[in-house]
Amino acid sequence: MQELFTKNTKVIFYNEHPVPIQAMLDYDWICAKSEPCVSAIINPKKSGFHKTFFGPKEILIPVFKTLEEAVRYDPKADVLINFASVRSSFESTKVALEAPNIRTVVLVAEGIPENQTRELIRLAKENKKWIIGPSTVGAIKAGAIRVGYSGGSSENIIESKLYQPGSVGVVTVSGGMSNEVYSIVNNNTDGVNEGVAIGGDTYPGSTLLENVMRLHDNPEIKMLVVLGEIGGTDEYEIADAIKSGKINKPVVAWVSGTVAELFPTEVQFGHAGARSGSRKVSAVAKNKALKDAGAYIPKSFNQFGYLIKKVFDDEVRKKKDYIPPTQVTPQIPALDFESAIRDGLIRRRTSIVSGISDDRGDKLTYNGVDIDKIVDKPLSYTINALWFENRLDETGMDFLELCLKLTADHGPAVVTAHNAITTARAGKDLVSSVVSGLLTIGPRHGGAINDAAKWQFECITNQIDSADFVKEMNSKGELIMGIGHRIKSIQNPDERVQLIKKFAKKNLKQTEHLEFALEVENETTKKKNNLILNVDGAIGAVFLDILKSNKYEDEEILELIEMELFNAIFLLGRTIGIIGHVLDQKRMKEPLYRHPWDDILYK
């Protein structure tokens, strides 16, 4: 029989899984192959190229949407490594079994319905193809190719000398145990020639015996090691083949699952096929049948390694025609940047520092607080965690909440809303429309909180008298930020400012900034009755009082003013309203706005 895997085997990999693909290419590199074994990748969702490493060099492997295209690209590829999900494994394998070039499908998914697997087996028989799996970890042909994760980490490949062919063929049911057995074989013989895990399903695509015979027919293999499992009767087929002489090389075997005898009821172990039932499928009975047929069976798994050594020495090494395998030096693949960092072998300067949230762990955290602890609190709690290094108290958070509500919207006529509306009506997208509204926030609209806070803070710190301050500003001809309203006046006060004042009175012991701002208002309204403390001025003053009551140092407050944190409150609040206006316009499908001529004075 033509071997399934050789040094020249080319494979097509189904599903763009970077880790196993890299693992296979690393193995090629360890074995000093001149080119990688994966010639194409199938990704039903995209085509193009996949970036990966071959040794130290980055290479591109073509990605196709269908097997048909991949096969056309490399007609020599005859193995499909199928890493499809359980739900798409059946269809993708079926297509491969019907593709003329593909001889072998390695099926990794666990949990494929049994009838689907049986249909695949029927198709494989009909088309004279091989299936390895389902639920397999793959196979490894020492020095030639590894299929999927078989053989484990590069470190393990090297420790278990899986890069150079020995004289032992290994067939296991379990994928997890395959690596362990390769290590045992390496420690006790001249090494693994080929190893395959057939997978723990009730109906494996190719059976223990089929794989044992496949390896048996390879003249390089002098001895076979088999690890079976409770459940099913496949091990009896091996016993029969030994008895009939079909197998004439020594077989060392162990069937696991003797512990099942201790369970009162039928037991289902981790592998689907590993289910106790009648005596016939028990580990004890199968071990006995193999032993009676002439296989070497240890008393327990603990003596498996010892027995493998003994049989190898007696039946292989001592034979006159025995030639020990040539020792090969593995080529160590370059260290992965991530693992080198992880293991502390190299260091690198970071480009970004972040202090407020962390998404690396199991749970996202905002300033050290788990997201699930934040979700049942009011929104201001989240703002507090993400904006403030020194967290505000409950009053501070309540004030933020109040400000967001007060500043959320102020009707369609204000410039934020107006700009957003005209942009939305020009057919622009949501983000553009919202941003065009936000861009109007500045010294004349909404952006005055920060500047108001600045003078309020400076006057209090330097103990400046309100009347002097107003006089000085007047003489400089400067406007006082946070003072003045287009429409509202001392007789017709702004309801929002009243609410802010009420909040401060109710919740704060010290309100020096607010009091000062009101003194200033007292001065300015003497001149004109609409020069009142407006929303911007009121928010700035009360927020300063809140920072003070939260024991903020003066330098910290100055820093917050520098960073424009006071304006951020308006910015966030108003975004809610702007989004509302944009959605409103889109909902009504309002057409392009054109300003009427009669509303323009032409010079």
Stretch 358-417 residues interacting with another protein (CB under 8 A): 362
Cα-based angle 392, 481, 577 (whole degrees, multiple of 5): 65
111 interacts with another protein by CB under 8 A: yes
Options 146-154, 162-170, 448-456, 468-476: segment touching another protein (CB under 8 A): 146-154
Residues touching another protein: how many (CB under 8 A)? 73
Interface with another protein includes 170 (CB under 8 A)? no
Query: 87 vs 527, which CB is nearer to another protein?
Result: 87
Q: Which two tokens stand for residue 173?
A: 């049911």
Q: Least distance in Å: CB of 302 to another protein? A: 4
Angle value at C-alpha 87, between 84 and 90, nearest 5 degrees:
75
- Counting Cα atoms < 13 Å in the Cβ hemisphere of 49 gives 7
Nearest-10 crossing angle of helices 535-549, 512-527: 160
Q: Binding of another protein at residue 299 (CB under 8 A)?
A: yes
d(CA 339, CA 426): 52
By the rule CB under 8 A, 265 interacts with another protein: yes
Closest CA to 107 of 94, 126, 98: 94
Residue 522-561 contact track with another protein, rule CB under 8 A, x = bound: ----------------------------------------
Q: Is 249 in the site for another protein (CB under 8 A)?
A: no
Integer CA distances (angstroms), 218 to 116, 129, 136, 193, 563, in order: 31, 18, 22, 10, 75
Q: Residues 102, 106, 112, CA angle at the centre, nearest 5°?
A: 120
Of the candidate residues 16, 180, 220, 240, the single one contacting another protein (CB under 8 A)? 180
Nearest-5° angle of CA 265, CA 269, CA 271?
145
Tell me: does residue 263 bind another protein (CB under 8 A).
yes
Give whichever of 208 and 480 is closer to another protein, judged by the CB atom. Answer: 208
Which listed range, 5-13, 17-25, 54-62, 536-544, lies at the site for another protein (CB under 8 A)? 17-25
Q: Which residues contact 240 (CB under 8 A, 6 or more apart)?
A: 293
**Which of residues 93, 179, 384, 407 is near another protein by CB under 8 A?**
179
Q: Which of 60, 259, 386, 563 binds another protein (CB under 8 A)?
A: 259
Is residue 122 involved in binding another protein (CB under 8 A)?
Answer: yes
- By CB under 8 A, is residue 324 in contact with another protein? no
Q: How far is the CB of 8 from another protein (least distance, A)?
A: 25
Choose the stretch contacting another protein; rule: CB under 8 A; options: 7-15, 265-273, 319-327, 553-561: 265-273
Torsion of CA 435, 582, 380, 563, to 10 degrees: 20
CB closer to another protein out of 173 and 497: 173
Which residue number, 150 or 433, has a Cβ lying nearer to another protein?
150
Nearer to another protein, 125 or 319 (CB): 125
* Of the residues 42, 173, 213, 449, which one makes contact with another protein according to CB under 8 A: 173
Minimum CB separation of residue 210 from another protein in Å reads 11
Q: List CB contacts of 355: < 8 A, sequence separation 6 or more.
A: 367, 389
**Packed helices 449-461 and 565-587: angle between N→C axes, nearest 10 degrees:** 160
Nearer to another protein, 124 or 316 (CB): 124
Residues 268-297 touching another protein, rule: CB under 8 A, are: 268-275, 277-279, 283
Q: What is the smallest separation between the CB atom of 38 and another protein, expressed in angstroms?
A: 17
Cβ closer to another protein: 228 or 446? 228
Integer Cα distance of 297 and 313 in angstroms: 16
Does residue 495 belong to the site contacting another protein (CB under 8 A)?
no
Q: Which residues have a catalytic role annotated?
A: 271
Pull the structure tokens for residue 476: 């400089």
- Tokens found for residue 118: 């049986």
Residue 275 or 496: which CB sits closer to another protein? Answer: 275
User: Rounded CA gap, 294 and 298, in Å?
Assistant: 12
> Residue 127: helix, strand or coil by DSSP?
helix
**Is residue 53 within the footprint of another protein (CB under 8 A)?**
no
Shortest distance, position 138 Cβ to another protein, whole Å: 8
Residue pair 126/136 in contact (Cβ under 8 Å)? The answer is no
Nearer to another protein, 156 or 474 (CB): 156
Among 26, 229, 409, 536, binds another protein (CB under 8 A): 229
Q: Residue 167's CB: how many other CB atoms inside 10 A? A: 23
The answer to whether 416 and 445 are in contact (CB under 8 A) is yes
Binding to another protein in span 80-99, by CB under 8 A: 86-87
Q: Determine the residue type at 588.
A: M
Which of 3, 110, 220, 401 is close enough to bind another protein by CB under 8 A?
110
Q: Is 409:496 a contact under the CB 8 Å cutoff? A: no
Q: Which of 177, 185, 251, 297 forms a contact with another protein (CB under 8 A)?
A: 177
- According to DSSP, residue 279 is labeled G
**Residue 216 binds another protein, judged by CB under 8 A:** no
For residue 329, report the phi and psi dihedrals to the nearest 5 degrees.
Answer: -95, 125
